[in-house]
């Protein structure tokens, strides 16, 4: 292994600029003549809009324009679409109401946008926004998830009876019923998967600019997938034709799903930039982020597991109500269905499964993907019901998992819920995690804690995820309106250094380093001579962006494909220069060599020949050394792993402290272990945040109570321990790098590990479940209830 090749913890190339304050975040960009936008947002969760009086705002100092939904409608601006059509259990299509860029008839959540003010300075825009007077007729709000589909609950959209977007099912309902009929034991749980605010530390920004010379536009935006944004903005919202629109997402300060989507704000700003012909910048303040970034999770679930006398899983049924919020965000419908229902097999041989999901609208912020997206919800309910199953069977939680794991010789494994797992070997990951934690001596540690008046528990979570999104034809058949291949271009410059263009987007994942390692190893070019470019539809052929732990598996594979094309062409050029036959040319470590001789040309020499093609096989190959590739994966990838944590509960305060965290993940081959560990750390902290701290809470009138960092508890450094990270390696059999994806694993594995740990700690009190977030208050109350 080279020091900077595949498998080396190469220090990151991008760090220099971030560490010296020279990053290029969207808000760091200022364009000549730039002006500022501010949105007028609804203070009500549900209201009819009456007259909007913009006159005072229009005559305020510095104001250049005040726009309402009517202005956009008159200009033919379309609605923001949801890209995944759902067919319901009854065979009918879903109810997908439009999401207007600026609301015209009604507002449907606190923060819904009714007008846009543009002014010379941000302060002027803010001041003028206060002067826009909107008449509201306040309607009763629908905020309770368990009552949202009642006919007497306030109705959000005329076209959506009972606020029900869809009822969708997956699996074999009849077979599952018969499994439950045969069952000797049935475990049951009711769970709430708490609503999260994504809270990337960089707020969203949109800076739109029109070039009147050729009537083109550039949108700088905090996006995880600029090309898809371009397609949506042009084809669906109808703002600018695709070839006239450039979308640039430079350095992006964390995404966690929330920056996948095209939001109404960037649509409005782009449209307004065309009206006034000045660059317009909108930067969310954190309060706006809380209200308007798509939230995540928010599922109510009833789950049951049917077992035989040995604790073998015969059947599982799941009934989930998923909150869509007020409107359908771009991928809202995908999350509780094909990213959730399809994961119900977990790591187990459960013989029959049926999962039904009812998606409902409420007067809350739209809900979409947040780190893990559907898979944390699935894993949470599976791993909780597995622990509950162990409890009622009197089995060790590790033992019941072992009994039900899909055996390593059963792959490829066809699940009951549509996916085919390509590979897996679960036992060793569990064994490694347990031995690292010293599981067998846990009871001694529990007893020690008890002498100090603390309850100690151990929580196991074994997870699988479907990553590497996605085989285009498969998702197309399931309702996707998009493909999910990835694009790459490798350009040798005449002097031998290399630019790699990727359609993946890095917002913390370190692609500039990892992808350079891949290209370096493949092409034999030193890593310092390779630059990776991402996040610009004007420079990169195409891209489906970064989410669903897809970048290396799909984007990295595209880079490999492009590199192979370069080598193939290089071989022809080398054969000519070395006067040998092409089949005699070997390529190793960046050199084309005539087999069995020392006659050789470096790839840099080949690149030079390609750009100065004097002695060159022009009749056989074109000049230049620049190759593009598009890679569409044949299947998803299936990372898996086992996380084990040890928690201590203070019975007097209800406080939970995480004493140890052991993770054993299987991501297949690893390019840069340092970066992978970092991804796991961040994911776990996110999951611990969900399990212990974070909760988006609405009051009855639909006000977001936890709408700032003062009220919404983000994980701080004191809330998480140092992590012990390990791996097993089961390479993905179907992509050229054998990689699977690692960015979401921690957020998927962590919540059930924590809750299983707390329940285990309090099991002697008879506690069988604790709801997330397990705040001191919740835990203390649970203990009190158990004691009485």
Partner 1 sequence: MPTVSLTINGKKVVADVEGRTLLVQLLREGQRLTGTHVGCDTSQCGACVVHVNGKAVKSCTMLALQADDSEVETIESIANEGELHPMQAAFKEHHGLQCGFCTPGMVMAAIDMVNRIPNLDEETVRHELEGNFCRCTGYHNIVQAILAGSKAMQS
What are the start-end ranges of the E strands in 528-636? 530-533, 585-588, 591-594, 600-602, 626-631
**Positive or negative CA dihedral for 516, 741, 339, 175?**
positive
Element (H, E) at 131: helix 122-131
The 689-728 contact track toward partner 1, x by CB under 8 A, reads -------------------xxx---xxxxx-x-xx-----
Residue 200 found at the interface with partner 1 (CB under 8 A):
yes
Q: Is 123 in the site for partner 1 (CB under 8 A)?
A: yes
Instruction: Tell me if 408 contacts partner 1 by CB under 8 A.
Output: no
Q: How far is the CB of 245 from partner 1 (least distance, A)?
A: 25
Of 126 and 244, nearer to ligand FES (C-beta) is 126
Q: Which of 69, 203, 479, 752 binds partner 1 (CB under 8 A)?
A: 203
Give which of ligand FES, partner 1, none residue 686 binds (C-beta under 5 to 8 Å, depending on kind). Answer: partner 1
Residue 253, SS3? coil
Interacting positions 728-787 with partner 1 (CB under 8 A): 746
Nearer to partner 1, 27 or 173 (CB): 27
Q: Count CB-CB contacts under 10 A for residue 241.
A: 12
Binding residues for ligand FES, rule: CB under 6 A, are 201, 253-254, 508
Stretch touching partner 1 by CB under 8 A, among 93-101, 193-201, 586-594, 730-738: 193-201
Pick one of ligand FES, partner 1, none as the site partner of residue 683 (Cβ within 5 to 8 A by kind).
Answer: partner 1
Nearest distance from C-beta of residue 721 to partner 1, angstroms: 8
**Partner touching 716 among ligand FES, partner 1, none, CB below 5 to 8 Å by kind:** partner 1
Residue 708 touches which of partner 1, ligand FES, none (Cβ within 5-8 Å per kind): partner 1
Minimum distance of ligand FES from residue 745's CB (angstroms) = 18
**Rounded to the nearest whole angstrom, what is the least distance from the CB of residue 551 to partner 1 in the complex?**
13
Least Å distance between CB 382 and partner 1? 24
The listed partner (ligand FES, partner 1, none) that binds 611, CB under 5 to 8 Å by sort, is none
Closest to ligand FES by CB, 508 or 535? 508
Three-class SS state of 470: coil
Pairing mode of beta strands 591-594, 585-588:
antiparallel
Under rule CB under 8 A, which residues in 629-688 are in contact with partner 1? 674-675, 677-679, 681-686
Q: How far is the CB of 263 from ligand FES (least distance, A)?
A: 20
Tokens of 460: 């196991």
Binding mask 68-107 for partner 1 (x = CB under 8 A): ----------------------------------------
The 10 Å CB-count burial string (b at 16+, else e) for 533-547 is: ebbbbeebbbbbbbb
Among positions 201, 447, 618, 697, the unique one binding partner 1 when judged by CB under 8 A? 201
Q: Please identify, using beta-carbon distances, which residue of 200 and 566 lies nearer to partner 1.
A: 200
Cβ-proximal residues to 239 (8 Å cutoff; 6+ apart), any chain? 77, 217, 233, 245, 267, 270, 271, 274
Of 76-84, 237-245, 378-386, 503-511, the window that binds partner 1 (rule: CB under 8 A) is 503-511
Ordered strands of the 454-464 beta sheet:
454-464, 640-650, 656-666, 724-727
Alpha helices by DSSP H, 355-425 = 375-393, 397-404
Residues 6+ apart with CB under 8 A from 206: 26, 219, 220, 221, 222, 263, 265, 266, 269, 270, 281, 282
133 close to 50: Cβ distance less than 8 angstroms? no
Sign of CA dihedral 778, 296, 117, 123: positive
726: closest CA among 618, 620, 643, 638?
643
Residues 220-259 that bind partner 1 (CB under 8 A): 251-254, 256
Q: Does a cis peptide bond (omega within 30 degrees of 0) precede residue 374? A: no
Kindly state the number of chain residues that form the binding site for partner 1, as judged by CB under 8 A. 57
CB of 145 to partner 1, least distance (A): 26
> Residue 126 Cβ, how far from partner 1 at the closest point, in Å?
10
Strand bridging mode 498-502 / 530-533? parallel
Is 284 in a helix, a strand, or coil?
A: coil
| CB closer to partner 1, 11 vs 440 | 11
**Per 3-state DSSP, what percentage of the chain is helix, strand, and coil (rounded to 5)?**
30, 25, 45
Considering the complex, state which of residue 510 and residue 570 has its C-beta at the smaller distance from partner 1.
510
Q: Using CB under 8 A, which of the segments 492-500, 501-509, 522-530, 583-591 binds partner 1?
A: 501-509
d(CA 194, CA 689): 11
Q: Which of residues 253 and 479 has its CB atom nearest to ligand FES in the complex? A: 253
Q: Does 508 bind partner 1 (CB under 8 A)?
A: yes
Query: Which of partner 1, ligand FES, none lies near 242, with the C-beta cut-off 5 to 8 A by kind?
Result: none
User: HSE on the CB side for 109, CA within 13 Å?
Assistant: 26
From partner 1, ligand FES, none, which one binds at residue 723 (CB under 5 to 8 Å depending on kind)? partner 1
Interface with partner 1 includes 14 (CB under 8 A)? yes
* Strands 486-492 vs 626-631: parallel, antiparallel or unpaired: antiparallel
Contact 545, 485 (CB under 8 A): no
Q: Which stretch binds partner 1 (CB under 8 A): 18-26, 433-441, 545-553, 768-776?
A: 18-26
The pair of three-digit structure tokens given for residue 56, joined into one six-digit string: 């005072």
Closest approach of Cβ 384 to partner 1, in Å?
23
Cα–Cα distance for residue pair 660/245, rounded to 1 Å: 50
> To the nearest whole angstrom, how small is the minimum distance from the Cβ of residue 249 to partner 1?
12
What's the rounded Cα separation, in Å, for the pair 356 and 408? 29
Residue 204 found at the interface with partner 1 (CB under 8 A): no
Q: How near is the Cβ of 25 to partner 1 at its closest, in Å?
A: 7
Task: Return the number of the residue (508 or 548) whose C-beta is nearest partner 1.
Answer: 508
Region of residue 532 (left: phi > 0; alpha: psi -120 to 50; beta: else): beta
Task: Please say which residue, 278 or 677, places its beta carbon nearer to partner 1.
Answer: 677
Residues binding partner 1 (CB under 8 A): 11-12, 14-23, 25, 27-28, 30, 123, 199-203, 251-254, 256, 285-287, 507-510, 674-675, 677-679, 681-686, 708-710, 714-718, 720, 722-723, 746
């Amino acid at each position: 292994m080279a020091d900077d090749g595949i498998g080396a913890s190469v220090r990151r190339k991008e760090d220099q600029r971030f560490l010296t304050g020279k990053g290029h975040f969207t808000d760091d960009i200022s364009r000549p003549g730039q002006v500022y936008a501010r949105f007028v947002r609804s203070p009500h969760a549900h209201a009819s809009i009456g007259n909007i009086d913009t006159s005072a705002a229009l005559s305020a100092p510095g104001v250049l324009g005040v726009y309402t939904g009517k202005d956009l409608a008159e200009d033919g601006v379309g609605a923001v679409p949801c890209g995944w059509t759902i067919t319901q259990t009854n065979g009918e299509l879903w109810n997908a109401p439009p999401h207007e860029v600026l609301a015209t008839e009604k507002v449907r959540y606190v923060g819904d946008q009714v007008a846009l003010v543009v002014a010379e300075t941000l302060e002027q825009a803010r001041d003028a926004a206060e002067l826009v007077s909107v008449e509201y007729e306040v309607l009763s709000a629908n905020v309770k998830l368990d009552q949202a589909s009642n006919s007497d609950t306030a109705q959000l959209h005329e076209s959506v009876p009972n606020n029900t977007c869809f009822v969708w099912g997956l699996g074999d309902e009849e077979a599952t019923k018969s499994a439950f009929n045969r069952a000797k034991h049935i475990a049951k749980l009711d769970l709430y998967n708490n609503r999260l605010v994504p809270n990337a530390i960089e707020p969203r920004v949109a800076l739109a600019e029109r070039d009147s010379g050729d009537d083109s536009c550039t949108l700088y935006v905090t996006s995880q997938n600029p090309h898809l944004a371009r397609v949506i903005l042009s084809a669906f919202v109808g703002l600018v034709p695709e070839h006239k629109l450039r979308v640039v997402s430079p350095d992006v300060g964390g995404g966690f799903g929330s920056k996948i989507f095209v939001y109404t704000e960037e649509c409005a700003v782009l449209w307004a930039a065309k009206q006034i012909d000045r660059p317009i910048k909108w930067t969310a303040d954190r309060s706006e982020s809380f209200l308007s970034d798509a939230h995540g999770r928010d599922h109510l679930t009833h789950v049951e597991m049917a077992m035989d006398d040995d604790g073998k899983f015969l059947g599982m049924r799941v009934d989930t109500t998923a909150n869509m919020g007020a409107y359908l965000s771009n991928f809202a419908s995908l999350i509780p269905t094909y990213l959730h229902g399809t994961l119900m097999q977990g790591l187990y041989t459960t013989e029959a499964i049926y999962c039904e999901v009812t998606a409902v609208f409420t007067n809350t912020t739209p809900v979409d993907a947040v780190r893990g997206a559907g898979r944390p919800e699935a894993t949470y309910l599976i791993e909780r019901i597995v622990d509950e199953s162990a409890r009622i069977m009197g089995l060790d939680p590790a033992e019941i998992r072992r009994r039900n794991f899909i055996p390593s010789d059963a792959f490829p494994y066809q699940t009951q819920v549509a996916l085919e797992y390509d590979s897996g070997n679960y036992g060793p990951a569990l064994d490694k995690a347990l031995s690292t934690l010293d599981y067998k001596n846990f009871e001694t540690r529990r007893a020690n804690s008890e002498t100090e008046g603390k309850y100690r528990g151990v929580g196991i979570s074994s997870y699988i995820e479907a990553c590497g999104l996605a085989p285009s034809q498969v998702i197309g058949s399931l309702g996707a309106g998009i493909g999910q291949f990835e694009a790459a271009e490798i350009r040798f410059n005449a002097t031998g250094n290399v630019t790699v263009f990727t359609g993946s987007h890095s917002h913390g994942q370190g692609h500039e380093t990892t992808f350079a390692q891949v290209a370096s190893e493949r092409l034999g070019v030193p890593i310092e001579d390779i630059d990776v470019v991402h996040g610009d539809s004007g420079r990169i052929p195409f891209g489906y962006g970064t989410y669903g732990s897809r970048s290396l598996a799909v984007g990295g594979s595209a880079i490999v494909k492009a590199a192979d094309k370069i080598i193939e062409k290089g071989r022809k050029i080398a054969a000519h220069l070395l006067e040998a036959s092409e089949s005699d040319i070997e390529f190793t470590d960046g050199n084309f060599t005539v087999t069995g001789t020392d006659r050789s040309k470096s790839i840099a020499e080949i690149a030079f020949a390609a750009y100065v093609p004097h002695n060159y096989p022009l009749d056989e190959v074109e000049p230049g050394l620049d190759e593009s590739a598009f890679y569409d994966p044949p299947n998803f990838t299936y990372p898996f792993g086992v996380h084990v944590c040890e928690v201590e509960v203070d019975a007097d305060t209800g406080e939970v402290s995480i004493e140890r965290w052991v993770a054993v993940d299987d991501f297949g081959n690893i390019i840069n272990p340092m970066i992978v560990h970092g991804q796991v750390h961040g994911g776990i902290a996110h999951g611990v945040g969900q399990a212990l701290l974070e909760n988006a809470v609405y009051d009855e009138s639909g006000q977001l109570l936890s709408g700032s960092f003062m009220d919404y508890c983000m994980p701080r450094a004191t809330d998480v321990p140092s992590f012990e990270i390990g791996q097993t390696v089961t390479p993905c059999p179907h992509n050229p790098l054998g990689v699977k994806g690692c960015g979401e694993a921690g957020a998927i594995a962590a919540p059930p590990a924590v809750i299983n740990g707390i329940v285990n700690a309090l099991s002697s009190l008879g506690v069988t479940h604790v709801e997330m977030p397990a705040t001191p208050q919740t835990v203390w109350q649970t203990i009190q209830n158990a004691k009485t």
